[in-house]
Each structure stands twice: as structure tokens, then as C-alpha cells.
Structure 1
Amino acid sequence: MSGLTVILLIVAMPAWGQDAPPDTGDDAAVPTEVETEISNEVDGYPVMLNNKIIFRVREGVGSVATPEERANIIEQRLVNIAETTDLTADDIRLKSGERQTIILAGDTVLLTVSETDAQAYDESTHPELAEMAADIIRTALTEYRNDRSVQGQAVSIIATVVSTIALLIFLRGLFFIASKLLVRIRAQRQAGTLLLHVGSLPLLEAGATAYVLTSLVKFFRIFLVLVALYIYVPFVLSQFPATEVLGDSILQDIASRINGLVQAFVVYLPKLAMVVVIAVIAYYAMKLAQQIIAELGRPGAYPWFYEEWIQPTNRLAMFLIIAIAMVMAGPYLPGFGSPAFQGVSIFIGALLTLGSSSAVSNALAGLILIYTRAFQLGDFIRINETIGNVQDKSLFVTRVLTPKQETVTIPNASVLNSNVVNYSAICRESDGYLLLYTTITLGYDLPWRKVHAVLVEAAKATNHIVSTPEPFVLQTNLNDFNVSYQLNAYTSLPTKMPRIYSELHQNIQDKCNEADIEILSPHFSSLRDGNHSTIPADYLPDDYTSPGFVLQNPSNHSS
């Protein structure tokens, strides 16, 4: 049997035509391998039964009928035969002649296959072609009557009921599994085990990860419900003759789309393999970078690479590796080079160019602050008028917690352009001490050695002031009416500086009062006689009385 004959036996709906009109005036047909709903003189006009194309007619009958008219005539004859209950598929018979073969249903002529039709196929004769056509008609006639029989309708109803039960079971199982997954996600979030990170780089915290997973579960639940309905509805419609065409068209649309997706995926497989290779190389490159950076930051290994640089350098290296990998993988991504992809790229580029200049400057300033080691987390620093502990040091901002428990957020660009005073650096890096200082002014009538001794004693009595190195006093200025004495004392706890200063000032007051020193900045334009002492009463003698106001006449007699 020829290849064409095999195709005709396999395909349920072949196409037929005729090269020349038969002697009987009926229509002959020739087969074709194209099975579509196209209707034209080249592809032929379809002959349908039971809402299905069984073959096509390409040739007319001389000037009697066009191919389209002949197809309609054959179709009407087949419908009449199918609706005639006294004729069965076994009543379809052939009547062969020398140059043509007639296909009949009882005494009714359905169509004629001529020798000219057979000559279109080198390995076929008109009886063989007619026999194949008759078999197709018998099959179509049997299907038409079975679909409309009581037994066929019962089978369709049973199939509909079974498919409905299967759909309900599937939806019940789907919603049950989805609810279990959502409960599990909530439990994992409360336990704090949903942190998502790549190596040492945190990507999402527990709340954000739980939100993403919950959204994915809900999305796939809706997606699977729609897919189930998309399959169920056309299947049910295809079970009944009145809606079979609609159901079949939906099923064919589904099959066409799935086939397109599969073909697109197969075509994309080589590019997907390249994306996977790039991702694997990037992953191992990040692992290698982490190992190298960890070795650089190992204590005592490389003095020029500090331990606090490990984490930011890891993040920077991973960002650069991921960026390079994305640039390399870009040409292999779906839609790369399309107008939509180019439009999105231009929009993002314009957005970054026009709206992120301050963000870029802050990010660069943050990198500079990290690698210049201006301060570390926990250091007690002063930036302009802000004093406090470094609470957070990110790529864009620095947060300082003041002694008043106020969190001040400063952009890194402003930090870089300001003078940063780090009170903790000397204590942290070289086990040194921070030098605190305060200045008081006293009159020239007080012996400076006594003042030095009193101030040093006040410093030693202050908590968190170390005795070695010893406190010392500098006379910083000789003013018009007083002397400026600067007390200098060392501490190893810069973070307690506000309390140390407060206690130091209290001790200076106490020690000066005990030594009978009035903390004044005298101006000799004032009258001193007759004024009560400013020393607290606890430090004055019990018999102390305010001196009288003395007036002296030119003869030097007081009164």
C-alpha cells in the first residue's frame, strides 16, 4: 500500500476532489493531506458531517456545479442519509465501472470517483480510492448516529457527571493543600525561620519571605482553578452534539497554545542552558570571592586589610558578580532585544539618571566611609552638632543615637562633607585613653599651685577618670581680670563622657569650696565690701558674719 493510502487510513477527515466530472453527473473527490477550515479552490471546500470535516471537494462538474456547490450537495446527501433510520453503515456500497466507481447508500448516489481522480495518485486506482472514501463515510455515519442515540446521550451524561465529580475532588484537594501550606508558612514566620539569604547576604527577612510565599500559594491556587475549569468546560461541551463544535474549538485552542508553549520552550532550551551555566559560574565565583575575602580579613594575615571590611567587601563583591552575570545572561533571556524590553531598559536608565543622583552620591560616600574607617558601629562620635553612638552604618545613611536617646539619621554625603570627631577610636585601636578637658576662670589673688592641686584632686575623685596617666592642669590664658585654668583628665570610656563631665564639674565645685576657693571670674569694677561670701554655708565658719560696708574719707579715717 502506498504512503498516500496509509495517510488516508489514519486521518479521520481527508479531503477529496475531482479532476474531471463523472459520466453520471455526480461529484468525484481527490485526497489531500491538508486538514484545515480554509475554503477556497486550491484547498477545496469542506464536506461536513456531525460538525466535522470528512473530506474536501476541489473540482466542480463542468458548467453544472462549482466545487462549493458540489460540496454542499454531497454534505446535504450525507445528512439526509444519516437522518434516515432505515439505512445503516453497512448499506454503503460501491458500484465499479471501467473508468469510475460510484459510492451508493442503498439506491442513493453519494459521489463518484473517476479514473481521472485515480491518476492524480500514481500508485492508486479509482476502486481503491472509492473504497477508502466509503470507509470514511461509514465511520462518520456511525459516529453521527451513535452521538445522537439514547446510549450515546447516556454515555455523554455519565462522562459529564464523572468529570464534574473529578473537578470537585480536585478543587477540594487543591484548597486543602493550599490551606495547609498557608498555615505552615504562618507557623514558620512566627518561629522566625523564613529568613532568605544568599551566602552571607540577607535578601528577605521573615515577614517579607512569608508574604512572598503566601502570594505564590494563592497565585498558583487561582491558576490551577482556572486551568481545571479551562479543561472541564470544553470537555463537557464536546460531549453533546449541540455544543460539540464550541467544545472542540476550545480544546483545539488549548492544544494549539500548549503546543506553541512546548515548541517555544524547546527552541529556548539552548539559551536556558547558557543561563544555567552563567548562574552556576556566578555562584561558585561568589563562593571563591567569600573565601578570598575571609582569608584577607583573617587576624594577623594582612595588616592592610581590616577585619571590619570583610562583610561590606563580601556584599560589594557579590553585587558586582551578580551584575556581571546578569549582563552576560541578558542576551539569552526571553524577549531580549524586543521593543518592549528596550523600552523598559530606556525607562529604567532615564529614571536612574534623573532621579537617583543623590542616592548614588550617598552610596559612594558610604563606600568611602567604610574603607576610610572613619568610625565603626558603637563608636561615640560627633558630626557637626550631633553627638552620640553610631547605631547603624548603611550604604546610604548613618544613624546616631544621642545620649538623649534620639536617633538622628544623616545622609552619608553630608557625613563625608563634615568633620567627624571619633572619641572612641584611640581607645579601640591602640588601647589608649581619651583626654577630657574643662576650663574655669579664677582671680589672680589665688595661688596657681593651690588651684592646680585642687583641680587634680577633683579629677581623681571622679568615676571613670584613670589615675595613670595622671590628670594635669594647663593655664591656657591670662585674662584681664582672671586666669583660665584647663583641667585635663584621661578616661577609657568615651561613651560615658556626658556623665563624666557632669560628675567632674560637681567635684570641682566641692573641692574648691573645701579649699576656700570661690569660683568667680572677678571684675574689679564691682564693690566687694559688704557682700556676703558666695561659698556655701556648710563650708563657712559658724561665727561667720557678712563684712560691713567701709567708707574712707580723705584723711584715711574709716567710718
Structure 2
Amino acid sequence: MLIAPLQAASEEGRTEMSPILESALDTAPVEIDGQLLFIVRGVSSFPAVVRAEAIKGRIEKVAADPSFPSDGLNAEVVENVTMIMAGQATLMIVSEADAHLEHTSRDHLATLHVMRIHQAIDEYRQSRRSEALVRSGLYAAGATVIMTLVIAVLLVLNRWIDKALSKVLTGRVHAVGIQSFEILRSETIWRVFHGLVRATGVATIIASAYAYLHYVLALFPWTRSMSNRLFYLAAGAVEHIGNSVGATIPDILVLAIIYYLSQFVLGRIRRFFDAVEQRRVTFAQFEPEWAIPTYKLVRVLIMAFALIVAYPYIPGSESAAFKGISIFIGLVISLGSSTAISNLIAGYMMTYRRVFKVGDRVKVGDVTGQVIAVRLQVTHLRTIKNEEVTIPNSQILNGDVTNFSSMADTLGLILHTTVGIGYETPWRQVEAMLRQAAERTSGVLREPQPFILLIKLGDFSVTYELNVYIRDPHMIARINADLHRHILDVFNEYGVQIMTPAYEGDPEEPKVVPREQWYVAPASSDQKLAG
């Protein structure tokens, strides 16, 4: 073996060299069939890479000539350089600068180069003999068969491990949650386990393929350098392909992590507040109706936080143009969103102050209707005429809101109407007739009982107010109409004249509807009252 003598000889005669000179040297390796022979330096007019390639070409030319004996190399001193010769052909020149690079003398370095070139020529010829190439081919074929079997075994083993893991962990993997709310489903945990097993299998196959390529390429002299530089070739190809975007890949990865992490957190939070809304998770002093508005508020905060964290990683965020656009967008939003922000704040204040909820019957200003949607900016009402009215939340918060539904289920909603009756009719009789009309009306509660108030002693009549309790605020119009019909019927039955509108002077005959005229056409005796 020549490696030990080479290393021992290289240790002799080392001289000191300035660190500045060493850092300024332009060097390149001389390699034959992927094996490093030595390193040469260059100058500005003859770069080290060009010099190394020229030396390599001359050595390979000599090695490819079987008529030249490998021990025919010699070193000749010409003036201040040493020339390594192969017969009459010059392979390379060793100068004092080359000797300084190796920290040894010129003669010693030339001797070492001759020995290394002699060894490289022998190895070059040996690796290209027919028996060596046949042997390498057989080894490559065997490695290919083994690699095929290894891949097959790895695929079978991966499936077996996956099934075995499923059997072992069946019944032991449960969903992670709070009360009945699932943070992580068992199916999701299973998918993670299966993904890890598959990823491990794929990584093993890739590592085996890399080892196979490294071995097979090293068998042949023409591909041995590729075997030595396999990793660097792959890295260089990736670097060449992604050169234009390589600088932004780390930032893009960070942005992707922030995005998917935000989506995961938002998904978990949304499922949690859905569980709160459906009363599967309960908290004291927290109404289920607050769940979705609270989620929307939390979502805005999380998205704002994610945007702040991600901003420095956005490509081009440090440029003046990007900053100018960001300032312009912020200015436009701040100037144009004052009303939107006030409506937004009003929407949340209404939610947490329990002004009303979806399904309530309310009166906002001059609009009366059922609440069909409460959004961050506006509230939608549907009137009795089936009209949809959109009201800004700030207007609702700054005005008066009458909620007919908030106490209807507990104390009941009081529906009232007034009638004017002459002074000649006893008030006890009037109250009794009003109570009778209330009893006939469908939808009026028997408990609490209706009550009557005398609210005015007018110039021409006494004004009575009938108050009845109902449960369904959405039936106010129907119940009110039905109550008025029964009031008319009862007063006609007892011959009591309703003094509205007022008049001057008593008529010759009471203004009542005789019983025989109750069903004058187009009315019919079997006509039912609207309920």
C-alpha cells in the first residue's frame, strides 16, 4: 500500500505559511475515477480548475495507453520547477508555490505526485479489464435483486406493522375532549398513527435506494465519481431548480406552519363553541346564545395575531412598496370603517346585554317583527306582512327596543284594547261583557285572569281597557282581531251600544246590531272566527 508512505512523506519538510496567503489560494482537486490524487493551485491567468482538468486529461491519456508502463514515470528538474514526465510527455509541473501549498519541499512533493500518479494509472487499468467489469456487472445485478427483495420485504413489513399496531391499540385509543366535546377524534389519532407507519416505511425505502445507488455506481470506474458525489449532485440539482425561490422557501414554510396551525386552532375552537351552543358543554353565567358571537370575536383575534406573526415572513414585506401599500390600506380601512366598527361593537354589546335573540318578536322604532338573524353589523327582522327589514346594530343600540318575547314564557304578555261605552250602561255590566269576550277568545290565558281598567271618563263615554294574558307573541295580531270580534258580538248580544266614535245627542234608537242581522250577507251563520 502506498497511502502510508505518502502520508509519512507529506509530514516531512512542512514549512509555515501565512494564514492570509492560505486563504487567498485558488485550488482545485485532481481526481481520476472519483479518487483524489492531489490538490493543485492556480493563478489568475491559469485557474486551478482549468489546470486540474488539464492534468487529469493527460494522466487518463497515458493510463489508457497500455504500451506505456506505469513505472516509466520520472521527475526532471528544469531551472526552478520540477516536471513529471511520462516518457516524452509532460504530465504536470511542480513549482515552489505548489510546494508551499503542501508545506513541503518541491522535490519531495514531486516524488509524492509521481508515486500517486503511478498508483492511479494501475488502478485505472485494473478497473477497466474485462474480468473486473464482468465482476462489477454481476455484483450490480446481485445488488439489484437484493434491492428488489428488500423493497418487497419492507412493503410487506410495513403492512404487517400497521395491522399489528391496529390490533394492539384497538380499544386503547380514545378521543380527547372536554365533557362531551371532542378536541381530537379517535379517527384523527388513528390517521396520525397510520401516517407515521407509512412515513417510516417510505423513509426506509428511500434510504435503501440511496445505499443501493451508492454501491452500484461505485462498482464502475465511469460512475465512481457520481457515487462519491451522489448527495452533492442531488443537492446541486435542487439548488439549481429552486435557485429563484430558494431564498423564500424558509419564509414560505413558516407561513404554511402559521396558516395550518391557525386553521387547526380555529377548527378546535369552532367545534368547542358549537358544543357550547348545543348545550353539550355548559358554563355558569355563560348563555348558549353567546357561543357563536364569542367564537367570531375569538376568531378575529386569532387571525389578527396570526397576521402580525406572519407579516415579517411575507415575501417582500421589507420593501418600501409593500410598506406603502400596507399604510394605504390601513388608512382606507380606518377612514371608511368607522360606521362598520360602531355597528360591530353594538352587535356584541346587544348580544351580551341580552337585548333579544333569534326568534323573538320585537319592536325597533316603527318596525315590529320577528328576529330572524343577528349579525355583527345588522339585525334582520321579518314583519307580519312577511317583509324583511335590515336595521344597523348601532341604530338599535342607540334607540328603544321593545321585546314582546322575553317575558311571554314566564309571566305572560299582556294584550290590551279599549272601548268607549255610554254613561247609561253600568260599568259592572261592561266589565262582565268584556270578560266574557276574553273567555271566548282562543289564545287568551285563563290564568292569570284578564283585568279591566277604567282609564278615562270622557265627555261622551267611559273608556274601558281590557287586558288579557297571552303566551305566543307571534299571534298578537290574530288574537287581537279575534278579541275585537268577540267584543262586538257580546255587546250586540246584550244590546249595549259602543260609543266610538263619539257623537252629539242621543239617537232615537240605540246603535246596536240586532241578532237577526248578525249574519247579513255575505256573512253566514257557520262562519268561523279566525284563530
Relative to the length of structure 2, the TM-score reads 0.55
* Alignment equivalent of 2:445, drawn from 442, 448, 465: 465
Partner of 1:365: 346
Q: Does 1:416 align with 2:397?
A: yes
Deviations 1:161-210 (A, max 9, x none): 9999999999xxxxx9xxxxxxxxxxxxxxxxx9x99999999xx9xxx9
Q: State the identity as a percent.
A: 26
Does the CA contact (< 8 Å) of 1:367 and 1:395 recur in 2?
Answer: yes
Partner of 1:453: 432
Q: CA deviation at 1:422?
A: 0.9
Partner of 2:277: none
Distance verdict in 2 for CA 1:504–1:356, change over 3 Å: same
Q: Which amino acid aligns with 2:434?
A: L
Distance verdict in 2 for CA 1:309–1:72, change over 3 Å: closer
Larger deviation, residues 386-395 vs 133-142: 133-142
Partner of 1:111: 92
Structure 1 CA distance for aligned equivalents of residues 417 and 22 of structure 2:
104
Structure 1 CA distance for aligned equivalents of residues 470 and 47 of structure 2:
112
Partner of 1:298: 284
Q: Which amino acid aligns with 1:251?
A: A
Q: Which amino acid aligns with 1:468?
A: P
Larger deviation, residues 463-472 vs 94-103: 94-103
Q: CA deviation at 1:478?
A: 3.5
What is the 5 A alignment of 1:234-383? 251-254=234-237, 298=284, 307=287, 311=291, 315=295, 318=298, 322=302, 338-339=318-319, 342=323, 345-346=326-327, 349-350=330-331, 352-383=333-364
Structure 2 CA distance for aligned equivalents of residues 522 and 122 of structure 1:
126
Q: Which amino acid aligns with 2:473?
A: P
Q: CA deviation at 1:363?
A: 0.9
Distance verdict in 2 for CA 1:491–1:168, change over 3 Å: same
Q: CA deviation at 1:351?
A: 5.3
The unaligned stretches of length 5 or more in structure 1 are 10-31, 35-40, 171-175, 177-193, 288-295, 300-305, 541-559
Structure 1 CA distance for aligned equivalents of residues 474 and 111 of structure 2:
105
Q: Which amino acid aligns with 2:478?
A: R
Distance verdict in 2 for CA 1:412–1:160, change over 3 Å: farther
3-state secondary structure, aligned to 1:413: helix
Q: Which amino acid aligns with 2:393?
A: N
Q: CA deviation at 1:364?
A: 0.8
Q: Does 1:503 align with 2:470?
A: no
Structure 2 CA distance for aligned equivalents of residues 307 and 458 of structure 1:
41
Deviations 1:106-127 (A, max 9, x none): 6633123356632444356643
3-state secondary structure, aligned to 1:390: strand
Partner of 1:490: 469
Q: CA deviation at 1:522?
A: 5.7
Does the CA contact (< 8 Å) of 1:103 and 1:134 recur in 2?
Answer: no
Does the CA contact (< 8 Å) of 1:514 and 1:539 recur in 2?
Answer: no
3-state secondary structure, aligned to 1:395: coil
Deviations 1:248-273 (A, max 9, x none): 986242465899989x979x99xx9x
Higher RCO (CA < 8 A, seq sep 6+):
2
Q: Does 1:43 align with 2:26?
A: yes
3-state secondary structure, aligned to 1:425: coil
Distance verdict in 2 for CA 1:536–1:385, change over 3 Å: farther
Distance verdict in 2 for CA 1:139–1:343, change over 3 Å: farther
Q: CA deviation at 1:338?
A: 2.6
How many residues were matched structurally? 433
Distance verdict in 2 for CA 1:521–1:325, change over 3 Å: closer
Q: CA deviation at 1:365?
A: 0.8
Does the CA contact (< 8 Å) of 1:470 and 1:490 recur in 2?
Answer: yes
3-state secondary structure, aligned to 1:338: coil
Q: Which amino acid aligns with 1:413?
A: S
Structure 1 CA distance for aligned equivalents of residues 356 and 48 of structure 2:
91
* Alignment equivalent of 1:81, drawn from 62, 81, 99: 62
Q: Which amino acid aligns with 1:471?
A: F
Q: Which amino acid aligns with 1:397?
A: V
Deviations 1:424-459 (A, max 9, x none): 33446xx43422112345567755553333222212
Structure 2 CA distance for aligned equivalents of residues 75 and 525 of structure 1:
132
Structure 1 CA distance for aligned equivalents of residues 88 and 389 of structure 2:
102
* Alignment equivalent of 1:474, drawn from 441, 445, 454: 454
Structure 1 CA distance for aligned equivalents of residues 296 and 354 of structure 2:
16
Q: Does 1:387 align with 2:368?
A: yes
Does the CA contact (< 8 Å) of 1:396 and 1:412 recur in 2?
Answer: yes
Relative to the length of structure 1, the TM-score reads 0.52
Partner of 2:491: 512
Deviations 1:459-500 (A, max 9, x none): 2333333443532143557477x6654322233443442332
Q: Which amino acid aligns with 1:363?
A: L
Structure 2 CA distance for aligned equivalents of residues 199 and 399 of structure 1:
34
Q: Which amino acid aligns with 1:43?
A: D
Structure 2 CA distance for aligned equivalents of residues 437 and 336 of structure 1:
69
Structure 1 CA distance for aligned equivalents of residues 451 and 310 of structure 2:
66
Deviations 1:110-166 (A, max 9, x none): 123356632444356643465357537855995799699788899999999999999
3-state secondary structure, aligned to 2:341: helix
Q: Which amino acid aligns with 2:379?
A: T
